[in-house]
Structure 1
Amino acid sequence: MGIRLEHVTGRAFAGRSLRPWADARVELPALPGAEADAVDLTEQMDGVGSPDAQAHAMAKFAATRLGAALDPVAVELLGSARIGEPVATTAVRLGLSVRHLHRRCVDSFGMPPTTLRRILRLHAAAVLRAQNRGLGLAGVAATAGFADQSHLTREVGDLTMTRPSRALPRA
């Protein structure tokens, strides 16, 4: 059983930069200061039999650990990536250099801002495809912010290593 966090909450949960764990699955004891928490959570999970009760215990643990404030720059980065704002424009708006913005993004999300934007655009395409049965790939590409259908197809292949018909199923 594991916890999957939204983009902005990962750093708050970990309590530090996500850079060392980019593209990795992290066990709870590997987080700084979480060794005792891992023991407590393991004991709670062992004491509860049903998977629903275990999931509830894990969610409660995550909520208490997420008490830290979210980084306002990370929240702004996520918002600008969702709307497809260029990285340089976001940096100017936030009063940061592009390089500093890149470092903050990698620390907060474990990936550079351009990769974050690509993933969010692909997620938007998947949601559109699932919700609109009559919308073809060209329509999904145009609505989600891709240049054209071939751009969508390349991005799907690069990010999911499969073809659009598998990665973007209809409802």
Structure 2
Amino acid sequence: MMNDSELATLRNRFKKDAEFLMQTRTHGDEDEKSQEEKDAKPLPRINRHSVFWIVASVAVTYYVDFLNNIIENDDIKSWWFNAGLVLLGTCLSLAMFCIVYLEWYKGINHYEQVYPAIPPVTTAAFIAASCSLNIALWPVWSFLTPLILFTQFMGVVMFISMLG
């Protein structure tokens, strides 16, 4: 067993450690507040990340002759392609409804609280559209199809984010 002097030493050491931890927490709280203040500032719409994806999307469109292949290639599975276009149109329509009508015209910034069905419907339609378009365009670009479509998707998303 420990004697009284060892217990006192141990108690003092824990007390100092506790005081140190309390000081660290108060400094951490200040850091959290400054982080919250940083988060409150709106990020610039045009940044390197957005510009990169838009330029990459334009480069991919040019390099793989995207539009010409979509219009003229007979290897595209038309049923899957048409289903993908309808679903993608649904996604873009819902996005434009949220951005243009709800946010710009009505001034509703938190539209997911007013219309809670919009995010899951848009997400489901997008996942179905991406699967359909990958199936439809696989005969054209093979294993590069998901990469090409992902780059195009990111370019469109970054362009739309610059609007909103």
Normalising by the residue count of structure 2, what TM-score does the alignment of the two structures yield? 0.28
By relative contact order (CA 8 Å, sep 6+), the higher-ranking structure is 2
Max Rg structure = 2
Taking structure 1 as the reference length, the TM-score comes to 0.27
